[in-house]
Structure 1
Amino acid sequence: MSIRAVVVDDERFSREELIFLIERYPSIEVIGEADSGEVALMKTIQLQPDVLFLDVEMPKMDGMEVAKSVRELKKVPEIVFATAYSDFAVEAFRHNAVDYLLKPFDEEQLSHTIERLEKKLIGQKSYQEKTWMPTKLAVEEDGDIRYLDPNDILYVYREGRVTKVVGKARSYEINWALKDIEARLTPFSFFRIHKSYLVNLNYIDRLTPWFNGAYHLELKGHEEKLSVSRNYVKNLRNQLEL
C-alpha cells in the first residue's frame, strides 16, 4: 500500500531533487509532477493524488493559490509545502499543511514529513479498505426488488432515458444514470467502452478492428457485438493485456 504523490515546482532541478529523495521511501509513489500551479491543479484533478509536495513561489498561480483551489475538489489531497523561504510558514499551516519543507532539502526533515504522512494516510487507507461495501446491484421488477450479483452481469448500457442491465439469463431496466452504476460496478471489473456502455471485463472474448479507430467487442456466451469507441480502445487494451 503506497501513498500517491505529485511533486510541483517550477524549477526543474529542485523538482528532480525532491522526487529523487522521496522515491527512496517505499511507502511513497510519485505518480506525477508539474512545473506550474495551473498544471498542478490539472494533474490533481486527473490523478487524484494523496499528497501534493507543493512549491510556494511560482509565476501566475502560486502554491498558496493551488492549495486553496484543491480544497474545492471532491478528493482533497494533503499538502506539504516546499520553499526556500520561511516567511510563508504561518500562511501554509492555515491551509492545514502536513508539513513545511525548506530548501535546500534536509533529509532528516523530509524523513519526519514522510512519517507524518504515513501515520495520517496509510492508517486511513487501511480503514477505508476494511469498510464494508455493497456487493449486489438492486433492480426493481414488478414491485419486487431483485439483487443481482455483478459477476452475473455481462454489460450495462443506456438507451434513451432507460439504463439496461444485461445478465447471463435476461435483461433488466433501471432508472439509474449510467455514471451512478459505473461508480458502483467499477470495483467489480466493469469498464466503460463507449459513452453509453459498461462491460464486465471477465466476459470479453475478442476485440476486432472496425473502422476509423473504433473496434467491435465480442463477449463470451453473447452473440451481439458491442462497439468500442476509439477514445476508449487504448485504456481498454491496457486493462486487458499483460
Structure 2
Amino acid sequence: MSPSTETPRGTPLTVLAVDDERPALDELAYLLGRNDHIGHVHTAQDATTALRLLRAHTIEAVFLDINMPGLDGLELAGVLSEFAQRPAIVFVTAHDDRAVAAFDLGAVDYLLKPIREERLAESVRRVVEARATVPTPAAAQSPEQDEVIPVDLGGVTTMVARSSIGWVEAEGDYARLHTSGGAHLVRIPLSTLAERWSDAGFLRVHRSYLVAMGLVTGIRSVGSGVAVSLRANGESPAVELPVSRRHTRDLKDRLVRAPRQRGTP
C-alpha cells in the first residue's frame, strides 16, 4: 500500500469506480486499491450497474467518469444527490470544460485524465475530510453554506472558497476571482456570479466588478464618478474600484440597510 496522505486514517472507505472504458476503469480501480484509506473498490461500466451496486452496498465515495453512453456522469450525480445517504463524488474525466457543472452538483474534486497517483491521493484525502464533516440535511440546504469554485492551477483543478473572494473582475466571458491567496481566472461570466451570489453578500457595482460587501469600507467621489473602497482581504491589498452611475444607488442603499459584515457564502 502506498502512503497516500497525511490525513489520519480512520475506517477504510468502500468506494465505487465508474467508467465505460475498461482499461481506464481497471487503472482507476488499481490506483484506488493502492491507497491506504481505501478498503474495497467496486467497479461499474455504466450507470445502471453503478446504481445497482449503490443500492446493494454502503459506498462512501464514487469516482465517476463524465462522458458515458446512456446516463452520463453528471446525470448520475444528479440521481445520487437524491439519496438519503449521499456518497462523496469525485469526477474523473479527460475534459476540463465540465468542472463548473460538476462542482454545482457538489463534487468533492475533479480529476483530469491521465490520472496521477499523487493527485488521486489528494482526492481521497478530500473525500476522507468531507466524510468526517458531513453536514446535517438542514445544514446541507442552508444558503449560507460556503460555495467552492473550481480553478485551474498549473494543469491541476483545485477549489477556491467563495468566502476567500474579495472582488471579481470581468474579462469577457471569463471572470477573475481576487482572493486572499491571489487571482484566478475562471470560465464563468460575471453576470452569472452576480446573480448566483446576490444573497451571499456580493453586489455588482460596475459592468466589470462584483464586490464582497463585507469588505466595503466606504465610497467617495472621484472626478465626476464614484469609487468604492475595499479593505485588505487576508494577503490581498486594499483596493478601490469604480462604481457605475446605474449601480451607485444600489450600493448606497446596501451600505445603509445592511449590517457591515462579510456575506457568508
**TM-score when scaled to structure 1?**
0.49
Q: Where is the helix percentage greater, Structure 1 or Structure 2? A: 1
| More relative contact order, 1 or 2 (CA 8 Å, 6+ apart) | 2
**TM-score when scaled to structure 2?**
0.45
Larger Rg: 1
